[in-house]
Chains A and B, each alone.
Chain A
Amino acid sequence: MDNMLKTYDELKLLVLAGLILLAGLGTVSLAAGSLDSMVFAIALALAVSYIVVHYILRWVGRSGDKLILPVAAVLTSIGLVVVFRLKPELFLMQALWVAFGLVAFILAAVAGRRVELWADYKYIWGAIGIILLLSAEIFGVEIGGNKNWLIIGPIHLQPAEFAKLFIVMFFAAYLSERRELLAHDTKKIGPLVVPHKRVMAPLLAIWGIAMIILVLEHDLGAALLFFGTALLMIYLASGRYSYLIWGGGLFLLGSVAVYVLYHHVRARIDSWLNPWADPSGASFQIVQSLFALGSGGVMGSGLGYGFPNLIPEVHTDFIFSAIGEELGLLGSGAVLLLYMILVYRVFKVALAAKTAFNILLAGGLAILLALQTVVIVGGVTKFMPLTGVALPLISYGGSSMVATFILLGLVFAVSEAGGSDA
């Protein structure tokens, strides 16, 4: 599919990603005044494993997308450097998560070689997705104010991170089957197209689930992520703007209702609309985040020279603000551009895919990745109300890291299938 990029380019870019990791850790260590050989041994091992992953991938199949892994590796390297800067004691765990992620990437890429066949098991994916979501709701433990953790022995999991993938898979299969129906079985009322009730029912069901997330978890961002992904996937399948308008209208209506009815949602929206009304209380986090970004300016303070630890939870939800402070707009903008490139490549994979399911799967995963980035980066910059969502590949945490690598592994698998008989 891509004549411009050679396999060799992927290797070159991965070496660069490894160098970014080593140089970043070196900078942080020099600024802190202490070098830990253990950290560099781990980093070197990771840099080498990027290259190992490259050779395994090219051994498994030669034609998969050549930019996805390097871009992911650069983002991961930046994440490791910033986690080491913010919470050095968590570096080892994060490195471990990256290693797991790389393994998961290969496994997903290999397992997904005949990904189009997965469409047949759509209800299994849907069920797993719902069970994962519910498991957190039922057995979940609250850590750091968010009741979305599952604890099994020594492992802390955020099942919602994985649930998203299964739900996208379910939608891709479901919609690829019904898209004729979605696109054509409609009535018209004025300029707006009203879908048939068989189509309207699932739309309302998704909307209901989103509202439940909103009410139970007070989580506007998660609800927006879930609903937005579903809605855009419906558009993807049908090509009808009216679904977006219906869906958007429903979501807005529901949000307004919840805003009026639930004071905690109201508090969150209010602190977004006017954070300066209570900068030391309700809006403390967002105000600290804005201070970090503003203090960073264009050039940034330099790694190790800012004060990102003034922001609570800086290594998870607010890691983007830490990048903005110490690396400036040059750094935060570069990270945002990398996400754009990544999203763009995933959409490109969707465009090259050969079956409706594969197109919708890759497209859906691209939407998921893009919206998650928008929700968290938009949240910490006050572009939209703040919600605690992991910044893919950068935030500290295993579930999001592994889930994102599985996502990219699946996309790689789709690209492999799409490109092999081009």
Chain B
Amino acid sequence: MLDELKANVRKTAVFTIGILVLVFCYLSYIQVVKSQALATNSLNKRAIQVAARIERGKIFDRNGQVLAFSERDSDGKYERHYPYGAMLAHVIGYSSTKYGITGIESSCNGDLAGMKNWGRYLGPIGNLWQPKTGNNVTLTIDATLEEIAYRALGNRRGAIVALNPKTGAVLAMVSKPGFNPENLERDWEQISSSPESKLLNRGVQGLYPPGSTLKVMIAESALAEKITDMKQTFTCEGAWKIGNDYELTEEHRHAHGKINLEEALAVSCNITFGKLTVDLGSKRLADSFSRYGFNRPVNMELEEVPVELPDFKHLSDGELAQTGIGQGGLLVTPLRMAMLAAAFANNGSIMKPYVVSKVTAPDGTIIEEFSGQEFLTPTSPALAKLVRQMMVAVVAEGTGSAAGIRGIKVAGKTGTAENPHGEPHAWFIGFAPADDAQIVVAVIIENAGAGGEEAAPVAGQIFAGALR
């Protein structure tokens, strides 16, 4: 009789332990298959708690000025502070538990948040190497120059990008209107919903027609392709009819008369550069854009948006001429125009722009260091020198004279870009000292009018500040 009972016990044991095995399988499913999704669910507060447990690293400028740091508040939680407020908001970005992270805070998050230690691959044992403080990040930005640029732009909408043409180091990057990351969470509604796109970093994400600043590239290409030389004389009659449906004109149909290439650049003659571009043809024009890297991403950490190039296969002569004077379907970022100028400043080579120069451990040990890297060599030193000389003439006796500073030879090119949003955008690109450039800038002021009157003086202030 007991044997029968024991048979029942066996079956019951198999049944109940079987249920436990099922629970075990389900537990494994949750902790293995579902693990990642549950751990990263936006309602799971653990990521924020982990971040709040260690002190986020500091961000410094090239001279050791503190640009961002974390401090414990009265509740013992770390809070992020930005001593320069709106001035560097777009470059540094923000780190908010509510609204996420952007800029350097985002691209260097692994270092700043202390997550880049090898111990983390060891599972729980890695806790032994868990740092209490994140790594510090040093930028190429010069806070003093940033402030000069920020003030020079005033209350106008626009952007300034300043690079060291010899290394590609970004010295200053201003975008207006901006926001103060110190009050981000308080003012979020107003910042994020503003029709002026305050969160947009115009230096790398603003797309504008380059206007006449593009003419330096056309001049170089025309010389490189031997379509013209420095001696050829062009005749400008103030207007030029291309085909049946398009007429290219100077401002007020003002005729420049008989001029050579250098004079044409100095006075920014549309007819001359329109003709040169038509002579180049769409194939060679497309090649020029790719030689200067307009269609090639340059550095992920800059968060730039791609340039919009026209469809070169289907350009009429009129459209071709328009593209040559920086209008038409062409849209570029200020960074790209600074890089274009940098090619002539740096003997034909464009260095890869970068913002992070160094990552250091809390104790000062250098973990990573970045230096200049060549991006492209679009032209020869000889041609670069020719274009440079012409750009010097633009500032010395042409449209860019407002960018000149006493005692230093400045090279540049102005632009006044027609756009559908009202007054033309004022542009200036250039560098100084012309023969040994320490700084190259691109300035754009939205809907401000003539580049020579509005943008060139801003560039002048920056040159003076940088070379003081």
Interfacial residues, chain A to chain B (CB-CB below 8 A): 31, 179, 232, 235-239, 279-280, 287, 290-291, 293-307, 310, 324, 326-329, 332-333, 336-337, 339-340, 343-344, 347, 350-351, 354-356, 359-360, 363, 366-367, 370-371, 373-374, 377-378, 381-383
Contact of B49 with A by CB under 8 A? yes
State A236–B13 Cα separation when bound (angstroms).
10
Interface contact A359-B23, CB-CB below 8 Å: no
Verify B38–A290 contact, CB threshold 8 A: yes
Q: A237, A239, A297, A300: which contacts B7 (Cβ < 8 A)?
A: A239
Whether B74 is near chain A, meaning CB under 8 Å from some CB there, is no
The reply to whether B6 and A232 contact each other, CB–CB distance below 8 Å, is no
Asked if B20 and A382 make an inter-chain contact with CB atoms under 8 angstroms apart, the answer reads no
Contact B46 A367 (CB under 8 A): no
- How far is A179 from B7 in the complex, measured between Cα atoms in Å? 14
Closest-by-CB residue of A relative to B6 is A351
Q: Are B19 and A370 in contact (CB under 8 A)?
A: yes
Residue A371 contacts which of B7, B16, B38 (CB distance < 8 angstroms)? B16
Q: List 16 A-B contacts (CB under 8 A).
A: A235-B12, A293-B27, A305-B127, A324-B31, A328-B31, A329-B28, A329-B32, A332-B31, A333-B28, A343-B17, A347-B9, A350-B6, A351-B6, A377-B27, A381-B26, A383-B27
Given contacts A336-B27, A356-B5, A374-B19, contact A307 B124 (CB under 8 A): no
Provide the bound-state CA to CA distance between A333 and B31, in Å.
10
Say whether B24 faces chain A, with CB atoms less than 8 Å apart.
yes
Contact of B45 among A237, A239, A302, A307 (CB under 8 A): A307
Chain B residues within 8 Å of A, Cβ to Cβ: 1-2, 4-13, 15-17, 19-24, 26-28, 30-32, 34-39, 41, 43-46, 49, 123-127, 130
Describe A's contact surface by its main secondary structure. Answer: helix
Closest 4 CB pairs of A and B: A294-B38, A302-B124, A299-B123, A347-B13
Given known A-B contacts A329-B31, A381-B23, A297 and B39 have beta carbons under 8 A apart: yes
Which of A239, A300, A340 touches B124 (beta carbons < 8 Å)?
Answer: A300
B16 near A366: Cβ-Cβ < 8 Å: yes
Give bound CA distance, A336 to B28, whole Å.
Answer: 11
Taking A31-B127, A279-B43 as contacts, is the C-beta distance between A381 and B27 under 8 angstroms? yes
| Closest B residue by C-beta to A327 | B124
- Complex Cα spacing A333 to B2, Å: 35
Residues of chain A with a CB closer than 8 A to B125's CB? 302
13 further A-B pairs in the complex, CB-CB below 8 A; given A332-B31, A367-B12: A232-B12, A236-B5, A239-B5, A297-B39, A299-B124, A307-B49, A310-B49, A328-B123, A336-B27, A340-B17, A340-B21, A347-B16, A382-B30
* B31 contact from A238, A293, A355, Cβ within 8 A: A293
Q: What distance in Å separates the Cβ of B197 from its nearest Cβ neighbour in chain A?
A: 33
Shortest distance from the beta carbon of A3 to any chain B beta carbon, whole Å: 19
Are B124 and A305 in contact (CB-based, < 8 A)? yes
CA distance A232 to B14 in the complex (A): 12
A294:B12 contact, CB within 8 angstroms: no
**In the complex, chain B residues whose CB is within 8 Å of the CB of A378:** 23, 26
B2 to chain A, nearest CB (A): 7
Known: A295-B46, A332-B27, A333-B28. A356 touches B35 (CB 8 A): no
Q: How far is the CB of A20 from chain B (nearest CB, A)?
A: 16
A118 to chain B, nearest CB (A): 18
In the assembly, what is the distance between CA of A271 and CA of B12, in Å? 31
Could you tell me the distance between the alpha carbons of A280 and B19 in the complex, rounded to whole angstroms?
30
Chain B residues contacting A367 (CB-CB under 8 Å) are: 12, 16
Check A347 against B5 for contact (C-beta < 8 Å): no
Report how far A370 CA is from B14 CA in the complex, Å.
11
Neighbouring A residues of B34 by C-beta, 8 Å: 290, 294
Contact A383 B43 (CB under 8 A): no
Q: Which residues of chain A come closer than 8 Å to B39, judged between CB atoms?
A: 291, 294-295, 297
Whole-angstrom distance from the CB of A330 to the nearest CB of chain B? 9
By the criterion CB–CB under 8 Å, are A293 and B127 in contact?
Answer: no
B28 touches A328 (CB 8 A): no
Residues of B within 8 A of A305 (CB): 124, 127, 130
B44 CB to nearest chain A CB (Å): 4
Q: Give the docked Cα–Cα distance between A259 and B123 (Å).
A: 44
**Is B17 within 8 A of A333, CB to CB?**
no
CB pair B23–A236 under 8 Å, yes or no, is no
> In the complex, A301 Cα to B123 Cα: how many Å?
7
Which of chain A's residues have a CB closer than 8 A to the CB of B41? 291, 294
Cβ of A175 to closest chain B Cβ, rounded Å: 10
Task: Return A363 CB to nearest CB of chain B, in Å.
Answer: 5
Chain B's closest residue to A328 (CB) is B31
CB-based contact B6/A359 at 8 Å: yes
- A304 contact set on B, CB distance < 8 A: 127
For B17, the chain A residues whose CB sits under 8 A away are 340, 343-344, 347, 370
A359 touches B31 (CB 8 A): no
Complex contact A237–B35 (CB within 8 A): no
* B8:A351 contact, CB within 8 angstroms: no
Taking the nearest CB of chain B, how far is it from the CB of A357, in angstroms? Answer: 10
Most chain A CB neighbours (cut-off 10 Å) among B20, B38, B46:
B20
CA A296 – CA B38 in complex, angstroms?
10
Contact B31 A294 (CB under 8 A): yes
**Cα-based distance from A145 to B346 in the complex (angstroms):** 75
Contact among B2, B9, B43 with A280 in the assembled complex (CB-CB below 8 Å): B43
Question: Which residues of chain B come closer than 8 Å to A295, judged between CB atoms?
Answer: 35, 38-39, 44, 46
Q: How far is the CA of A191 from the CA of B460 in the complex (A)?
A: 99
CA distance A327 to B123 in the complex (A): 10
Q: Which residues of B contact A351 (CB under 8 A)?
A: 6, 9-10
Q: Which residues of B contact A340 (CB under 8 A)?
A: 17, 20-21, 24
Chain A residues lying within 8 Å of B37, measured Cβ to Cβ, are 294
A298 touches B8 (CB 8 A): no
Taken together as a complex, chains A and B put the C-alpha atoms of A332 and B29 apart, in Å, by 13
Residues of A within 8 A of B4 (CB): 239
Nearest residue (CB) in A for B1 is A356
A287:B8 contact, CB within 8 angstroms: no
> B8–A239 contact, CB under 8 A?
yes
CA distance A324 to B140 in the complex (A): 45
CB atoms of A290 and B30 under 8 A apart: yes
Chain B residues with CB below 8 A from A383, complex form? 22-23, 26-27
How many angstroms between the C-alpha atoms of A305 and B128 in the bound complex? 11
A414 vs B277: C-alpha distance when bound (angstroms): 101
**Known contacts A329-B32, A347-B9, A291 near B46 by CB under 8 Å:** yes
Q: Cβ of A300 and Cβ of B123 under 8 Å apart? A: yes
Kindly report which residue of chain B lies nearest to residue A183, judged by CB atoms: B4
* Given the contacts A295-B39, A343-B17, A310 and B45 also touching, CB distance less than 8 Å: yes
Q: Determine the residue in chain A with the shortest Cβ distance to B31.
A: A329
Which single member of A31, A232, A329 contacts B27 (CB below 8 Å)? A329
Taking the nearest CB of chain A, how far is it from the CB of B229, in angstroms?
69
State in angstroms the CA–CA spacing of A235 and B9 once bound together: 9
Shortest C-beta distance, B51 to chain A (Å), equals: 12
When C-beta atoms are compared, the residue in chain A nearest to B16 turns out to be A370
Contact partner, A237, options B5, B38, B43, B44, Cβ 8 Å: B5
User: Which residue of chain A lies nearest to B4 when distances are taken between CB atoms in the complex?
Assistant: A239
B16–A310 contact, CB under 8 A?
no
